[in-house]
Amino acid sequence: MDRHRFDILLCALILLMISVPFVRIFHPLTYPRLSKTTLAACFALMLLSAVLAVSRTRPTAIAASSLAVLAMVFSVMNIVFDQVWVGVVYGFFEIAFLGYVVVLILARLFTEEKVTFNMICASLCVYLLLGVLWAVVFSLLETFQPGSFDLPVAEDGQIRRMLFGGDESIYPIYYSFVTITTLGYGDIVPTSPAAQMFSAVEALMGQLYLAVLVARLVGLHIAHAARKDLRGEDPPAEPP
């Protein structure tokens, strides 16, 4: 199971990202809580997968499980009560859990001595987790400072909002990954100073992470090849 910890987490993250646009498209008017329930289920699956991925010791397992349980409890409360303060507390627990998981996975990445498929999956998980984490940050910022982001008006005239956890989760997630990849379509624009600074920090973090990660993987690969040469092992056959 240890070999597939990050495979499972990566699949859960991809499922979460895929479910967001479909929830927005097929959200029925007669069941207004269906979108929150569906996303909460996918997010809970991601939380459990993350707990499994980082629970290598008893203390980390207890800490990760506690944060995950609190996040899931407030996720359910957010569906039932639909109160602003519940969504805010839910967001803070999401950020705490995602940040804790990112730190644990990064610590493991920088202590591994060999490039493996599991390590590559772990590095991809960190990148996706950072995108989700910043989506929650932007959602909380919009809650505390409404109008921090300028979104295009929907075709039916409704005002779109950067709120994570419901059928509008597509907007913070979309904006977060467009920012972290420095793609920058410009259809969603940060207008407040805090939103602009957070967006710049996320873009910088994404680029630094990729640069450091590639350097780390290349260095490990070269070191592993050098150790094999010193042991006198035959190098892999060259492709024809």
Domains, the chain? 2-230 (1.10.287.70)
Angle between helices 5-25 and 34-54 (to 10 degrees): 170
**pLDDT tens-digit readout, 142-173:** 999 998 999 887 665 566 788 887 778 889 99
**pLDDT tens-digit readout, 175-202:** 999 999 988 888 899 999 999 999 999 9
Q: Tell which residue, 2, 38, 6, has the closest CA to residue 123.
A: 6
**pLDDT tens-digit readout, 1-22:** 566 789 899 999 999 888 888 7
User: Could you report how far apart the first and last alpha carbons of the chain are, in Å?
Assistant: 36
Global pTM reads: 0.86
* φ and ψ at residue 189, rounded to 5 degrees: -120, 130
CA dist 212 and 216 (Å) reads 6
